[in-house]
A and B are shown apart, each in its own frame.
Chain A
Amino acid sequence: MVRPGGPAVEPAEHAGPGPASPGAAALVVRISGVDKTFVSDGARVTTALQGIDLDIRRGEFVSLIGPSGCGKSTLLRLIGDLVAPTAGRVTINDKPAARARRDREYGIVFQAPVLFDWRSVEDNVKLPLELMGYNAAQRTARAREMLELVELGEFLRHHPYQLSGGMQQRVAIARALCFEPSILLMDEPFGALDEMTRERMNQEVLRIWERTGITVVFVTHSIPEAVFLSSRVVVMSARPGRITDIVEVDLPRPRDVETREQRRYFELVTAVREALRRGGADSHEADAIEAGSGLAGGSIDRAAAEGGIG
């Protein structure tokens, strides 16, 4: 009833716990030697990302975590061809990112749902399908299937402003998945939600991921969220933004409320926190701005502590 995942995904691959075995799994995302600099005010050059290498296997759930300004959102946008790298290469399924975008390989969910008020919930989900040449019957069938998947089947005729924040974000997820992209890019999708809704949405997104087998790249600054969801947590540090560590999350799947109470879960939360702190310390010598970065790291620790208790 649910679509059979992205192209050529074997059910066994994403049903199995932890990362798929290296040899068998095809790479979806390949990032090699990527730098990104922004020029502002004509002259001021900001190095957002430096020397990024990252491979993401098919069906993986990868989180990007780091302090504000570490370039995690920029990295996500580079994968999605919303910005171009200054140096290096980004390929998706062996194609350049720009080509992958034209082939509609990306589903994107932002922190805000970015739904259109003038369209009903169903018509919001249909929008990408309209652009991609699906006929009316296909559009209706897919939109309804996706809204069932996110458990909003009863709200087809509602308008976005009649829904709660969490429901709106679920509509955005349905819209991102309806055209069967091969990779789902999520940029702090639950950052604006309250803690309880956020945990519910985490569960929801895992359920969708397990049923569709889609590859997910997930930007967050919540350590508990990253650990709970991911196969791997990519830890980044700021100025210049770079990858300082990658934490493999070997928690068994399916994960649920009890996962958050396991000893291994807390160990991994601690591991990510320490990786973040190391990243902050590394760049301490770089320049004085690091005081700001250290503060950002501190706030992440606080968020993690709160999340860990809850």
Chain B
Amino acid sequence: MTIAGSIDSPSPSTASEPAIEAVPGALSHSRARRVGTLVGFGIGVLLLWEAVKWLGGVPWRFKDVFGTGLTIDYSPPFRFPFATDLNLPHWFNILGALAAPVQRNAHQSLGEFLVGAALYTWREAAIGFVAGALLGLVLATVFVHSRLLERAFVPYVIASQTIPIVALAPMIVYAFGPNVTSVVVIATYLTFFPVTIAMIRGLRAPDPRALELMRSYAAGRWATYRKVRLPASLPYLFTALKIAATASIVGAIIGEGPGGIPEGLGRAIINFNQQYISGPEKLWAAILVSSLLGISFFVVIRAAELVVLRGRPGAAEG
């Protein structure tokens, strides 16, 4: 019975020539292309947006074009119900709303207000993110070392995520009170799951023979965990953390409603939703800032990933 030798090495060990170095010029070139693609695609989306309004928006009139006395009347050939100025404001009007005062006679612009709200929400989300990541790491560590506990509790971990967060959020607020703690708990709740699932996989990622080697060095569980399991799991951890980063923002924004937190993006979104008829651009602006917040958090985790996983094959991808 030959047990060993049937599973392949986890490393892409087929490089026939040593010392494959990346060419620095080629790298920055590909980076420039990526940025170019991103910007180009963004411009494309904005053009498409306006093209939709041009085709099926509402009629408009441009009086006295640049002081020439000419007046342009435009009537789109179609009428798309989703493309009215109420349902789909011009994107430049959304940007304009960001610069305008948040309320009549207010000194603060909508943009300033939303950035302040975003930073407040981010603080809640970040605390929940850290707590959820730690909880996920601890749970996965326990499950990987105990088949019994894994079989007993993983179904509950999965079941926990089938409860709609809008139903659970008020119950968490009943339990912890209408305060920041409740919001953090909700963010934690959405964060721990991807980390737990990914880390159960990641901590089992090492080649079985790597674990046998550790056994032959008479290494204990803790040493094996620290030197082999944990480092091997880091690519899995960062994949989960990137999901968790955006999930924690969503959790915090949702939690701020029932949690009764007035300072964050959640309350702003609820308010601007109620005021939609009088100023649709404000809700669009709030959505824009929320998504920028999620993207920023994602990018921060991605940057950390690049630092932590530098030197590993494939670290630059993903």
Task: Answer yes or no: B3 CB below 8 A from chain A CBs.
Answer: yes
Contact assessment for A162 and B19 in the assembled complex, using a CB-CB cutoff below 8 Å: yes
B311 near A159 with CB under 8 A, answer: yes
A38-B1, A77-B3, A162-B19 given; A114·B216 CB < 8 A = no
Whether A266 sits at the interface, judged by CB under 8 Å, is no
Contact A163 B219 (CB under 8 A): no
A159 vs B310: C-alpha distance when bound (angstroms): 11
Stretch of A20-28, A67-75, A198-206 lying at the B interface? A67-75
Contact at A111–B311, with CB atoms within 8 Å? no
Are B5 and A110 in touch, CB under 8 angstroms?
A: yes
Q: Which of A129-178 contact B (CB under 8 A)?
A: 130-132, 155, 158-165, 167-168
The interface-forming segment of B7-15, B108-116, B293-301 is B7-15
Contact status B312-A118, CB under 8 Å = yes
Whether A104 is near chain B, meaning CB under 8 Å from some CB there, is yes
| Contact A162–B20 (Cβ < 8 Å) | yes
Contact present for A114 and B4 (CB under 8 Å): no
Contacts of B8 on A, CB cut-off 8 Å? Answer: 112
CB under 8 Å from chain B, chain A span 86-118:
101-104, 106-108, 110-118
Chain A residues, Cβ within 8 Å of B14: 165
Q: Which of B9, B215, B223, B311 has the most CB of A within 10 A?
A: B9
CB contacts (< 8 Å) of A163 on chain B: these are 15, 18
Asked whether, in the complex, the Cβ of B209 is within 8 Å of the Cβ of A114, the reply is: yes
Q: What size tier do the contact residues of chain B reach?
A: 35 or more
A101-B216, A118-B312, A155-B18 known; A131 vs B5 contact (CB < 8 Å): no
B239 to chain A, nearest CB (A): 16
User: A46 near B: Cβ within 8 Å?
Assistant: yes
27 A-B pairs, CB-CB below 8 angstroms? A36-B1, A46-B1, A73-B5, A80-B216, A81-B216, A110-B5, A110-B209, A110-B212, A112-B7, A112-B8, A112-B13, A112-B209, A113-B9, A113-B11, A115-B11, A116-B228, A116-B231, A117-B10, A117-B312, A118-B309, A120-B311, A127-B227, A131-B223, A159-B311, A164-B18, A165-B14, A187-B4
> Given contacts A73-B5, A107-B216, could you give 20 more A-B pairs where the C-beta distance is less than 8 Å?
A71-B1, A71-B2, A81-B216, A101-B215, A101-B216, A104-B216, A108-B212, A110-B5, A110-B213, A112-B5, A112-B209, A113-B13, A115-B11, A117-B312, A118-B231, A163-B18, A164-B16, A165-B13, A167-B18, A241-B1
Q: Which residues of B contact A (CB under 8 A)?
A: 1-5, 7-20, 207, 209-210, 212-219, 223, 227-228, 231-232, 234, 309, 311-313
